[in-house]
A and B are shown apart, each in its own frame.
Chain A
Amino acid sequence: EIVLTQSPGTLSLSPGERATLSCRASQSVSSSYLAWYQQKPGQAPRLLIYGASSRATGIPDRFSGSGSGTDFTLTISRLEPEDFAVYYCQQYGRSPRYTFGQGTKLEIK
Chain B
Amino acid sequence: EVQLLESGGGLVQPGGSLRLSCAASGFTFSSNAMSWVRQAPGKGLEWVSSISGTGGNTYYADSVKGRFTISRDNSKNTLSLQMDSLRAEDTALYYCAKGSTLFDFWGQGSLVTVSS
Please list the residues of chain A having a beta carbon within 8 angstroms of any beta carbon in chain B.
33, 35, 37, 43-47, 50, 56, 88, 90, 92, 95-103
Is A90 a contact partner of B45 (Cβ separation < 8 A)?
yes
Interface: B11 (CB within 8 A): no
Interface size on B, residues (CB 8 A): 19
Is B47 a contact partner of A101 (Cβ separation < 8 A)?
no
Please list the residues of chain B having a beta carbon within 8 angstroms of any beta carbon in chain A.
44-47, 50, 59, 61-62, 95, 100-109
Is A95 a contact partner of B47 (Cβ separation < 8 A)?
no
List of A residues within 8 angstroms of B105 by Cβ: 47
List of B residues within 8 angstroms of A92 by Cβ: 101-102
Majority secondary structure, A binding face: loop
Contacts A/B (CB < 8 Å), 20 sampled: A35-B102, A37-B103, A44-B107, A44-B108, A44-B109, A45-B106, A47-B102, A47-B103, A47-B105, A95-B101, A96-B100, A97-B47, A97-B62, A98-B101, A100-B44, A100-B46, A100-B47, A101-B44, A102-B44, A103-B44
